[in-house]
Chains A and B, each alone.
Chain A
Amino acid sequence: MIRKIAIILITISALVSCTKDFDKINVNPNSSPQVPLNYLLSQSLLYIGGSAGDPGYATWRANLIYALPTTQMFSSLSTFYAGDKYLYQADLSEAYFVTQYPNSVKGLVDIINQAKADPKNVNIQSIARILKVLQMSLITDLYGDVPYSEAGLGYLNLNYSPKYDAQKDIYADMLKELTEAGTALSAPATNPGIADFVYGGDVAKWKKFANSLMLRLAMRMQKVDAAGAQSWAKKALDGGVMTSNAETFSIKYANDGGTSTINSNSYNLGEADVPGHRNEVSKGSIQWSKRLIDLMKARNDPRISTIAILKSGDATAAAQKGLPSGLDAGTLTALTGETGPDNYSRPNPIMYYAKNPYILLPYAEVEFLKAEAIERGWYTGSAATEYAAGQAAAITQLSVNQGAPSLTGSVAAYQAANLYPATTLADKLLQIHTEMWVLNASTLNGFEGWANWRRTGLPVLTPTNYPGNATGGTIMRRLIYPVSEAGLNVNYKLAVAAQGADLFTTRMWWDK
């Protein structure tokens, strides 16, 4: 009897005591504890371009729905395209914020952290730092004060509610980062090579990009901190900026692995060769604005036939007609008698091929900013020369798009028709920033287009006043934070208290 009981008890304890292999059981066989940093860098680049994850989610909302229409580059009759009507829709306004932090920012923070352990990773670390500045500048220029110094550290520092840094501090640190990372880049050290979809591992180009981005950030501070802007602009230009379109910062796509390998603007706008596309152009949701088409026509801009086309397929410059901003179908009919968008210019398919590079900082912009810096007396040189170089670069830049005609032959005529004025600073700035405005529209770079317009106010745009708009009929100055942030981040309230009410109309630090 006792023996029987003992045997049973021993069997029971054998059943439960074997926990030795628990460590092995709890290892996830489907994901790796470590991967080469190059893989992470490539993925981060796709996230910055907005294509990885839900392709085009953030780009669609932040760039195509808000930035481009509010800056009167695009127009739409649909109230969903809230930008030219200054309508607030929470999920549209918050999209860029809620998408980029958990994707590109997290990835870049992780690369920077991992790379610092080994000096031979200096280039990938520096590239990640520069990219993080680019990504964070896009975020802060849309929203103002945002989490920066504590962002993306959920795992590394267990920080679940990052504080919101003042934009002033963010800019200071971004400029510092660009300086340090740009200096640290080392040609002899290993580089990410083909994993770098921007420059293919060309360290010299990355250095120039770091300085060019520094120039952009410096000039952004012009209204609020002229002295700082001056010294940083000089530093950037002294350090060496982009010198040709071959150095333009653009993310290259191959359309060879599903939707994340497609330009995200193309994904939203296009059809043709884009699988699962959103088809927004052919549905008639997006037109070029009257302001842009009228202006380009008046300036005999040769780019017009490359960027615009009518539904009928007519891309001739003379036939193009822009859609007035801030209308819906009803108000359009009342104003013009037109019953829909079909007779207005829409983006030409050249603008949205899947493999088009995603441009975030073109060489031409550097030339225009340099011209402004010279004009303000912050740098030496000929503003007119830089201006002309910018015009040429902006026009020829478009040839990177699939199927785009070469416009090299049209450059001289355009420059002749739009000479740099010899008059007042205001006139010169108007010319420079009108060129910038067209440049940003024609490269679908709404982020920079909107930011640069907010700093300069050029060209002058007439606000719309659509019923129910959230700005009282003034052009939006920022996007509104995610609704959920109020519940998730204890620092949200402090940010609103510091920056001002969480509205479209509140101006951020550099926009005061």
Chain B
Amino acid sequence: MLLMRNKLLFACLFAVLISTFSFAQDINVNGRVTDEKGAGIAGATVLVKATKKATVTNDNGDFTISARNGAVITVSYVGYLSRDYTVNGATLNASLVSQSKDLNEVVVTALGIKKEKKALGYAISEIKGDELTQARSVNIANSLVGKVAGLNVTSTATGPGGASRITIRGNASFKGNQPLIVIDGIPFDNTNQGNTVGTWGGSDQGDGMSSLNPDEIESVSVLKGGTAAALYGSRGSNGVILVTTKGGSKSSKMPLIEVGSNFVIEDILNKKLNDYQYEYGTGDKGTGLVGIKPTSADPNLNQTNSWGAKLDGSSVIQYDGVSRPYSAAKNNFKKFYDIGTTFTNSFAVSGGSDKIAYRFSMSDLNSKGIVPNNTLVRDNVAININASLSKRFTVLVNGKYIREKNKNRPRVSDSPGSANYTLWTLPTSLDVETLKASKYNADGSEKVWSNNQYVQNPYFATEDYKEEDTRDRFIGVVEPRFNITDWLYVKGRAGFDKYNRHETDITPTGTGYQLGGGYNTSLRDFRESNLDLMLGFDKKLTNSFSVNAVVGGNRMKQITLLDGYSGGPFNIPFFYDISNVSTPNRGTQSNYYEKRINSAYGTADISYKNLIFLNLTGRNDWFSTLAKGHNSLFYPSAGLSFILSDAFQMPSYVNYAKLRGSWAKTGGDTDPYQLLLTYSLTGATQTVPLAQVGTNQVPNSLLQPYENTSSEIGLEARMFNNRLNLDFAVYKRKTVNDIVGASISPTSGYNQALFNVGEINNKGVELLLGYKVGNSKNFGWEPSFNFGYNKSNVVKIYQDLKQLFIEEPRPRVSAIYQVVNAPFAQILGNGFKRDAKTGEVVFNAQGLPLTEGLKSFGSGISPWTMGFTNTFKYKQFGLSFLVDAKFGGYIYSGTNALALRYGLSKATLPGRETGVVGKGVTETGTPNTVVVAAQTYYSNMYNFAEPFVYSSDFVKFRQLIIDYTVPAGVLGKSFVKAATISIVGRNLWTILKYTPIIDPESGYSNTNAQGQEFAGLPVTRTIGVNLNLKF
């Protein structure tokens, strides 16, 4: 409905645009922009406020722009105070005052308080909304990649509706490490929906960020240090991402209409598996060393293995009993995966008067994934009203409604129902189109194509399996503010975040591993309310001193309800409803979780002569989830900003320099109901009720809040006529008493225990360097480089525990651990036994390598992250590209392990006919000479992690944007105020990687279990077109 309306509207407006070219009378205004000394300023922006038409001055400072008489023109240049002029005739000369003495860039800080950036004692990075709209990733978190120093965004190989992982300044917690997302002052639940993908596979159900509409976003502020986030208390301990959405403007009397249309196509990056071998086909080795072809349709012969004979094109029987040429099937990926498309239409109207400003927007996103039948529809509606009800009383009302509908989210990782797993492991001589043709048995059940019924026919998995989830979400805030005097105000804020999510999963009748089929439906009802009341004070006490202070309280209440039914098999085949499952075989769940946090907070900014700024904050949280006596925590913070360039005589090339420092303590709690042991009832049999200990996690009644201390020192500078822009920071974070559900030995009776553990340290540096190479009317070039290095170290875990298990991928020979005295998220796995003297691999009498147990292969998280952006401008054209890179991390590739196990990769070619002699020594130290059949040798490698751990370093040409702004002259007489068209490409080129077969960014999990990969969705590139019109 919304989509249709949107499309209609868009079509109408477009028609109008084409047919109209006559309207009001503009004149050409000529002028010059000069500085205090009268010298022309090159590259200054001259903007006609009403029409948003803009131009840039040439090398002499001259410009020409068309505007009506009486129009307001804003002239601006970085480092200078912007100034407004009214057009009065054809000549307009402007002079700007350098603002190096008064750099008043304003940014949004915690609790939505706007502050001058120079007053901040901590690092904050802001990304403008248009960077996100142009970059166009379905999940906007992925558009943040490479943009902010110290921000590490990891996308998951799980499809368009999937989640992402964001961390700021490293990983400080054994538990969650993602920052708090705040939208217009309201904390926004960004947790994973439903189950995350783990050892046993599954599909990624997305998070909160994946629901946002980039068109609505005015700016994104990344609050990096503890001090920046301290006012959010426990929830800000991992930093905060503040999203500010667009509002109307009180000054624009005429409504501004914006229409955007965007079309993106998505295609897999590597259509051919160039690391796969296509010399040998389906089958096993025979009695000797050499592989043989299948001789019957027996699934034991027609299996997942590609250890068969040399491909010779001869006729060979396949799983469906049909004989086909025994030849290479090289294009299975290309044949199976679709080209994904995403079509977005958005519309917004905004405007205002003296009393009110408003903005209403809606958008519709319609996406088809690369996996057949995977679709996503997302509709966003937002309204934002800011009203001055009286001289002293203003109210801000802001509401958003989001509806998402996902169908058939792709399953990844382990096999059941995962088309991706099948594609990665399909024998080299089995054409995926054969699977398409021979999908069913006569009774409609799945024709199992191998000896492993857990590996589905991919067409059965994508056409017969049904998954559907819908989420309705409402976020609203009402924010009244009353100015008691001109320096004292009271402000309230009531915010709600509520969503309903309904998911239905159908395992169809006749699925290979579950012939009876199964049904699963679940309903999640989440609501969080935040009530804030603040008293604010803002006054200049003397000429030198001014104070800006706020005290307030917050009450947070969060309730989650989870209801569900599941069951199987179906009584009547192929009829999919829970009523079709007999009662004893139905499972039900109904769970209720509630938690509360009460908080009192205060902040005070004191400035002296606009030279030194001191920011103090304090917050106390009381948690319902922790035991009495342990449930209160106070977080103080302090930040100091010192404007060096004002305090001291600086060399003339330094336009601005600021030194900042800050210190903060934050912390947090845990989930509800973790303190006591309880029992759950699991059903009944033989008229006897059944019950068991309700948890696999040892509860702990003495839990305390964890504490996180952070500090930073930073330097900001502008030099060489404000051309060079530098921001440098050094920081330290330390977490103690972390609350962790840590894996423990199952022999304890539990798989996890919850305790206050350990200590993690993070240290790092961040650098942002920007330079304006040219900035004239017709040409501009601004390269910008950001870089972050974070060194994490797990100092202590629990008592004498040296390592902490997190999660393992399906082969279960490696896992991610936290290890004492090592960086966060270590990959530990089965390693080869090596000769003590020579380091050579030691082989047993059978000619197979011996194991030495768990070895550490490095961290799954890259400590080095960087991005290099270049923005060019030539006349009406703009071009920008982003190259980003991560270094220093590792990844265990389960897909590579599978490829070796099943004889798929090229690495399995040596010794196919003659057998393999492993390079190394025997237990007595003599060279290994035992000949082993290739299948035996290589598939045995699956028991080791060592051959499959790779460096996850990469350099990627991440993004390219070319845009064209229709010249004002062309639009001049129409009522279209601005028109921009842009072309966007993402993930265009992997410049450097070390992982065969897979992309280094192929992880399936956004948890702390980073550094593992297993049969994910192939990585894609996207190319899109944006059209934006303003009326």
Please, what's the 1-or-0 string for B667-681, where 1 marks a CB less than 8 Å from any CB in chain A? 000001101111111
Is A106 part of the contact surface with B, judged by Cβ < 8 Å? yes
Please, what's the 1-or-0 string for B841-885, where 1 marks a CB less than 8 Å from any CB in chain A? 000111010000110000000000000000000000000000000
Is B358 part of the contact surface with A, judged by Cβ < 8 Å? no
Q: Smallest Cβ distance from A240 to chain B, in angstroms?
A: 28
Q: Smallest Cβ distance from A266 to chain B, in angstroms?
A: 15
Instruction: Given the known inter-chain contacts A39-B689, A146-B747, please indicate yes or no for A22 contacting B631, CB distance below 8 A.
Output: yes
**CB nearest to B631 among chain A residues:** A22
Is A88 part of the contact surface with B, judged by Cβ < 8 Å? yes
Query: Which of these, A90, A103, A109, A194, contacts B688 with CB under 8 Å?
Result: A194
Contacts of B745 in A (CB 8 A): 147, 160-162, 485, 488-489
Contacts of B678 in A (CB 8 A): 28, 31-33
Query: Which of these, A110, A275, A483, contacts B516 with CB under 8 Å?
Result: A275
Check B300–A147 contact: CB distance below 8 A: no
Is A56 part of the contact surface with B, judged by Cβ < 8 Å? no
Contacts of A197 in B (CB 8 A): 686, 688
Rounded to whole angstroms, the CA-CA distance of A12 and B968 in the bound complex is: 53
Q: Smallest Cβ distance from B748 to chain A, in angstroms?
A: 3
Check A15–B753 contact: CB distance below 8 A: no
Q: Smallest Cβ distance from A470 to chain B, in angstroms?
A: 8
**CB nearest to B569 among chain A residues:** A275
Check B679–A153 contact: CB distance below 8 A: no
B628-681, CB < 8 A from A: 628, 631, 672-673, 675-681
Contacts of A467 in B (CB 8 A): 846, 932-933, 936
Rounded to whole angstroms, the CA-CA distance of A469 and B485 in the bound complex is: 85
**CB nearest to B853 among chain A residues:** A486
Query: Which of these, A8, A52, A334, contacts B533 with CB under 8 Å?
Result: A8
Is A258 part of the contact surface with B, judged by Cβ < 8 Å? yes
Check A17–B598 contact: CB distance below 8 A: yes
Rounded to whole angstroms, the CA-CA distance of A489 and B804 in the bound complex is: 10
Rounded to whole angstroms, the CA-CA distance of A253 and B688 in the bound complex is: 12
Check B284–A328 contact: CB distance below 8 A: yes
B550-592, CB < 8 A from A: 551-555, 568-569, 584-587, 590-592
Please, what's the 1-or-0 string for A276-288, where 1 marks a CB less than 8 Å from any CB in chain B? 1111000110000
Q: Smallest Cβ distance from B291 to chain A, in angstroms?
A: 9
Please, what's the 1-or-0 string for B593-615, where 1 marks a CB less than 8 Å from any CB in chain A? 01110111000000000000000
Rounded to whole angstroms, the CA-CA distance of A381 and B937 in the bound complex is: 56
**CB nearest to A330 among chain B residues:** B286
Check A9–B748 contact: CB distance below 8 A: no
Residue of A94, A256, A277 ringed by the most chain B CB atoms within 10 A: A256
Is B717 part of the contact surface with A, judged by Cβ < 8 Å? no
Residue of B292, B598, B693, B844 ringed by the most chain A CB atoms within 10 A: B693
Is A484 part of the contact surface with B, judged by Cβ < 8 Å? yes
Check A89–B686 contact: CB distance below 8 A: no
Check A160–B753 contact: CB distance below 8 A: yes
Please, what's the 1-or-0 string for A142-169, where 1 marks a CB less than 8 Å from any CB in chain B? 0000110011111100111110000000
Is A468 part of the contact surface with B, judged by Cβ < 8 Å? yes
Check B590–A16 contact: CB distance below 8 A: no
Check B686–A28 contact: CB distance below 8 A: no
Check B750–A35 contact: CB distance below 8 A: no
Q: Smallest Cβ distance from B588 to chain A, in angstroms?
A: 11
Is A77 part of the contact surface with B, judged by Cβ < 8 Å? yes
Query: Which of these, B672, B693, B828, B936, contacts A468 with CB under 8 Å?
Result: B936
Instruction: Given the known inter-chain contacts A16-B622, A276-B569, A341-B300, please indicate yes or no for A38 contacting B846, CB distance below 8 A.
Output: no
Please, what's the 1-or-0 string for A466-488, where 1 marks a CB less than 8 Å from any CB in chain B? 01110010000000001111111
Rounded to whole angstroms, the CA-CA distance of A78 and B853 in the bound complex is: 27
Q: Which of A40-48, A296-304, A409-417 contacts B (4 or more CB under 8 A)?
A: A40-48
Query: Which of these, A77, A102, A152, contacts B696 with CB under 8 Å?
Result: A102
Q: Smallest Cβ distance from B536 to chain A, in angstroms?
A: 10
Q: Smallest Cβ distance from B174 to chain A, in angstroms?
A: 15
Check B812–A91 contact: CB distance below 8 A: yes
Rounded to whole angstroms, the CA-CA distance of A77 and B287 in the bound complex is: 13
Check A16–B553 contact: CB distance below 8 A: yes
Check B596–A22 contact: CB distance below 8 A: yes
Rounded to whole angstroms, the CA-CA distance of A364 and B932 in the bound complex is: 46
Q: Smallest Cβ distance from A468 to chain B, in angstroms?
A: 4
Q: How big is the B interface, by class?
A: 35 or more
Check B746–A101 contact: CB distance below 8 A: yes
Check A276–B698 contact: CB distance below 8 A: no
Check B595–A483 contact: CB distance below 8 A: no
Contacts of A275 in B (CB 8 A): 516, 568-569, 585
Is A97 part of the contact surface with B, judged by Cβ < 8 Å? yes
Contacts of B590 in A (CB 8 A): 30
Rounded to whole angstroms, the CA-CA distance of A498 and B319 in the bound complex is: 50
Q: Smallest Cβ distance from B680 to chain A, in angstroms?
A: 4
Instruction: Given the known inter-chain contacts A39-B690, A257-B683, A275-B585, please indicate yes or no for A483 contacting B622, CB distance below 8 A.
Output: no
Check A487–B803 contact: CB distance below 8 A: yes
Check B844–A254 contact: CB distance below 8 A: no
Query: Which of these, A38, A160, A333, A469, contacts B748 with CB under 8 Å?
Result: A160
Is A23 part of the contact surface with B, judged by Cβ < 8 Å? yes
Query: Which of these, A12, A147, A158, A489, contacts B552 with CB under 8 Å?
Result: A12
Check A97–B746 contact: CB distance below 8 A: yes
Is B229 part of the contact surface with A, judged by Cβ < 8 Å? no
Instruction: Given the known inter-chain contacts A256-B685, A468-B848, please indicate yes or no for A9 contacting B551, CB distance below 8 A.
Output: yes
Is B765 part of the contact surface with A, judged by Cβ < 8 Å? no
Rounded to whole angstroms, the CA-CA distance of A484 and B813 in the bound complex is: 8
Contacts of B631 in A (CB 8 A): 19, 22
Contacts of A38 in B (CB 8 A): 688
Contacts of A152 in B (CB 8 A): 747-749
Check B490–A155 contact: CB distance below 8 A: no
Is A13 part of the contact surface with B, judged by Cβ < 8 Å? yes
Contacts of B506 in A (CB 8 A): none
Rounded to whole angstroms, the CA-CA distance of A78 and B591 in the bound complex is: 42
Instruction: Given the known inter-chain contacts A52-B682, A102-B750, please indicate yes or no for A28 contacting B672, CB distance below 8 A.
Output: yes
Query: Which of these, B300, B568, B687, B800, contacts A490 with CB under 8 Å?
Result: B800
Contacts of A80 in B (CB 8 A): 451-452
Instruction: Given the known inter-chain contacts A8-B533, A101-B747, A258-B587, please indicate yes or no for A161 contacting B801, CB distance below 8 A.
Output: yes
Check A484–B692 contact: CB distance below 8 A: no
Contacts of B625 in A (CB 8 A): 26
29 residue pairs from A and B, CB less than 8 Å apart:
A15-B531, A15-B598, A16-B599, A16-B600, A30-B680, A32-B691, A90-B812, A103-B692, A152-B747, A155-B677, A160-B698, A160-B801, A162-B745, A194-B686, A258-B586, A258-B683, A260-B690, A328-B284, A329-B298, A331-B287, A339-B298, A467-B846, A468-B940, A472-B846, A483-B812, A483-B830, A485-B745, A487-B815, A490-B801
Known pairs A102-B749, A340-B300. 17 more at Cβ < 8 A? A1-B485, A1-B488, A15-B553, A15-B598, A16-B600, A16-B622, A22-B622, A32-B691, A158-B698, A254-B685, A258-B586, A277-B516, A339-B296, A339-B298, A486-B854, A488-B746, A489-B747
Which residues does A use to contact B, with CB under 8 Å? 1, 4-5, 8-9, 11-13, 15-19, 22-23, 25-36, 38-40, 42-44, 46, 52, 77-78, 80, 88-91, 94, 97-98, 101-103, 105-107, 109-110, 146-147, 150-155, 158-162, 194-195, 197, 252-254, 256-261, 271, 275-279, 283-284, 328-331, 333-334, 339-342, 467-469, 472, 482-490
Those 10 A-B pairs whose CB atoms lie nearest each other, nearest first = A106-B749, A154-B748, A39-B691, A152-B749, A28-B673, A147-B747, A489-B745, A12-B553, A160-B744, A31-B678
